[in-house]
Structure 1
Amino acid sequence: MVTVTLCWDDGADRALGLPVYASSGAAGADLRANFPGGASITLAPGARALVPTGLRLAIPDGYEVQLRPRSGLALRHGVTLANAPGTIDSDYRGPLGVILINLGDAPFEVAHGARIAQMVVAPVQVARFALAETLEDTARGAGGFGSTGAN
């Protein structure tokens, strides 16, 4: 098991607690909106906002934190992450914010303390890049979008 160290931002509501896994089989830990002063914001349809979590992370070398949408928010309200999945690199130490976007047709209130995203800790494989004159051929070849069939 890997340890991600967290600390609170100045002014964060510490009573909201640290991220938690909602069930024993959950892959992602829930992140909460943590607005200074306990405020809330309303996202109009089509609007996006950077929502603070009140946290900063120290992620071990060789790992990343992926930010992912919460399926219930996406299904019921059309609220998701604008850059899903978002990546937090191991050398970043700034505030952890979540870019929410409202793809629904009604305004959505992001309340202080609301669960807004999940974070998944994942290993990172650093690649070496090599230039070649040609690439090995495959059965698919250069077939792009939809080239493997409709089903």
Structure 2
Amino acid sequence: MKEAASYIIIILVAVLLASHLNVVVSGSMEPSFYRGDIVAVENTNLFGIQEFNPENDVHVGDVVVYDATWYPEPVVHRVIDEQTINGTKYFEIKGDNNPKPDPALVTSDQIKAKVLTIGGHLIVIPKIGYITLAFRGL
């Protein structure tokens, strides 16, 4: 019985840890982080629990993970502007290494996670995401 409980705890910890890590798939955020790095995130919805509210907790300078209308995978870029249009809050987002902002404004509903920081520094685990990229064929 103790062994089964240990396995359940290990699985729960792994699921919680995995849900708070995001693999970087491109160089669009260099030099903040690089392709193959992993960033630690908090989620808008983790099994029904809201860890943060994009409407109130996302600001210029934050790095977010969002569902883009122009790209099939989640995008990890920095918020460079906030604006309200007809009562709806929108974010202008851009990769640090990109010359132009992303092609469409982003609503709060599109934001799925925010990269965590400590003392203003993004929490990044270098290079170990390459394993995931290889499995996904990216």
TM-score bracket relative to the smaller structure: under 0.3
* Structure (1/2) with the larger helix percentage: 2
